[in-house]
Amino acid sequence: MSKFIAKPAFSLAGNLQIPGDKSISHRAIMLGALADGITKISGFLQGEDVLSTLKAFAAMGVKIEQNADKVTIYGVGIFGLKRPEKPIDLGNSGTSVRLISGILVAQDFDSELIGDASLSKRPMGRVIEPLSKMGALISSSNGKLPLKITGGQALNAIDYQLPVASAQVKSCILLAGLYARGRTCITEPAPTRDHTERMLRGFGQQVNSSGNSICLTGKAKLTPTQIQVPADISSAAFFMVAASIAKTADITLPAVNINPTRTGIIEILQLMGAKISLTNQAEIGGELIADIRICNSKLKGINIPEALVPLAIDEFPAIFIAAACATGETILTGAKELRVKESDRIQAMADGLEILGIKNSVLADGIKITGGELQKPSAIIQSHADHRICMAFAVASARCQHPIEIADVDNVKTSFPNFVELANAAGMVIEG
């Protein structure tokens, strides 16, 4: 079993190039494959999750050329995919399996989606239910993988109210809506990341957004394009927290995606007193980017506004580390979604914080964390093979005076393959 040993590091500095956005890289592969012609991508994230998406479409007859972070996709059109020879293995990637489901239910061939042990525990009923309402035929075991999809079904448009704010479910329905008869509309209980809507427009598809409702009309043809993938704010979050809690720090993260549906991490840290500034703001391919500079600061505990929860859902493991180093109590509610990620992130982080001597109380939909001094770890921290748990406790070394040992860290490669290299370049000492 792999592990990190993160040793004390109190001074951080540097200009760090964060790898490409995972969410955008996934969607670029999918829509590029469904376009009529050649799509070129630069800044592509070379993480295992996105490579699972790439391999899935290659297995369905799409020619894809990759040279480091540059990818060329020879799109086959929305009806040009071919039946894969075996079940499609999507590894650990929840984004892949949920979004691809929306595409596969409209194909004229049968297919099966499988994944690793972690992905096989995650709930898929949230996409099965709306897709079935559209006319899809999907069978599963208790709403989990494997998913067996019967092809050749005619899809009908639906008006769907999302029971839980989820960009993955929304995107799945929008992708199925490309094939459906009529106008598909989705209403969200709260805004979620809108990369699918933005990218569909970039490929020439009309998508209408009004308030929390998103609509599109099916039977579309996608036009190929060029995509520049910005740096991933979810990966940047670990360095934002590390710099905020370090004794001295001055870190700049260039050209990070600051899509307004993803900036919860910035707003929450600023509410806690973090010194964060954004410069060189620009728009590339419909996405907003900026250079983010973070300096060390004195953080204070806060009640995290529930409106910010969907805008920072993937960043909470890092935010919990910030809360552990803040003065006072931080309270998070309205985040039940964290319990069905790659791990139960609320409980996993609570257990790890306890090992570091940080008092906390787990709630049904959140957590209360009382900030304090990180103590000598009383045990090895278990990551539960969750990449974000691994990285969150690794950056806690910017404040802890003792080495932190974190078990089962291989899945960091799913989203941030050069995490250790960048962390050590900034002044951390992570061995793995």
pLDDT one-digit tens code per residue, 90-128: 999 999 999 999 999 999 999 999 999 999 999 999 999
For 181-219, how does the pLDDT look when each residue is reduced to its tens digit (9 = 90+)? 999 999 999 999 999 999 999 999 999 999 999 999 997
The third-level CATH classification (topology) of the domain covering 22-228 is UDP-n-acetylglucosamine1-carboxyvinyl-transferase; Chain (3.65.10)
Specify the pLDDT at position 1. 62
Low-confidence residues of the chain, pLDDT below 70? 1
Specify the pLDDT at position 220. 74
CA-wise closest residue to 263 among 251, 254, 252, 276: 276
Specify the pLDDT at position 408. 96
Angle ∠(65,419,375) on CA atoms, nearest 5: 160
Locate the DSSP E strands across 103-152: 111-114, 137-141, 144-150
Specify the pLDDT at position 351. 98
Instruction: Report the distance separating Cα 299 and Cα 244, nearest Å.
Output: 8
Specify the pLDDT at position 168. 97
The third-level CATH classification (topology) of the domain covering 3-20+230-431 is UDP-n-acetylglucosamine1-carboxyvinyl-transferase; Chain (3.65.10)
Specify the pLDDT at position 30. 98
Question: Can 314 be counted among the known catalytic residues?
Answer: yes
Specify the pLDDT at position 10. 86
Query: Can you tell me whether residue 55 is helix, strand or coil?
Result: helix
Specify the pLDDT at position 85. 97
DSSP character at residue 143: T
Q: CB-based contacts of 55: which residues, under 8 Å, 6+ apart? A: none
Specify the pLDDT at position 204. 95
- Find the catalytic residue in 194, 232, 314, 386: 314
Please state the pTM of the whole predicted model: 0.95
Domain regions of the chain by residue span: 3-20+230-431, 22-228
Specify the pLDDT at position 286. 87
